[in-house]
Structure 1
C-alpha cells in the first residue's frame, strides 16, 4: 500500500485483526465514534489514514519509533545505497522465512 493511499475498508481490516472498534481506533488516537463514522464511509483525513496503515497494516509499534531512526535510514539511503538495498532485501527474506505476512493479510 502506498503512502496516503485510500484505505478501502477500515472495518474489514479491523475485523481481520479481531479487534473491536474501541481497541482498533484508540491505537491511532481516534475515538470509537469517530472510527465508526470512518467505517460507515465518511472521508478519513490523510494523517488518520496513514496512522491506520502504519499501525494496523504494517504492524508498526509507533511507541518504539524515534525520529533518529528515520534520520539513520535516510542517511544510509543517501550515503550507502547498496548497503541499504542489501539490508532491505535481507529483512524481507527474513520476514518471509518467519512467515510474517501480517501486512499482506490485512490489506484492503
Structure 2
C-alpha cells in the first residue's frame, strides 16, 4: 500500500516523520500549514460541541426556560434547536472562508 513503511533494521524515532510526506514535513511552510489547520479545527470543533452541549444541558436541566412560549406554538427549545442547524452551516461557511484565505495558498505553495 502507498505510504507503508518498510522495515529497514533501524528504529524510527517519534519525532522523525515517515511515509510518503516525510521530505516535506521539515519545511517551515508545511509546519505553519499544519498549525493553522489544527488551530482552525480545534476552534470550530470546540465552538460546535460547546454550543451543542449548552443546548443539551438546557434541555435536561432548564426545562422551564426551554418550555417558554415565544409565539404561538413555538417555544425556546424549538428556536434553539433550529439555531443548531443555522450555526452548523455558519461554522462550515466560516471554515471554508478561512481555508480559502489562509490554508489553500500555503498548500498551493507546497505543491
TM norm structure 2: 0.31
Q: Highest Rg: 1 or 2?
A: 2
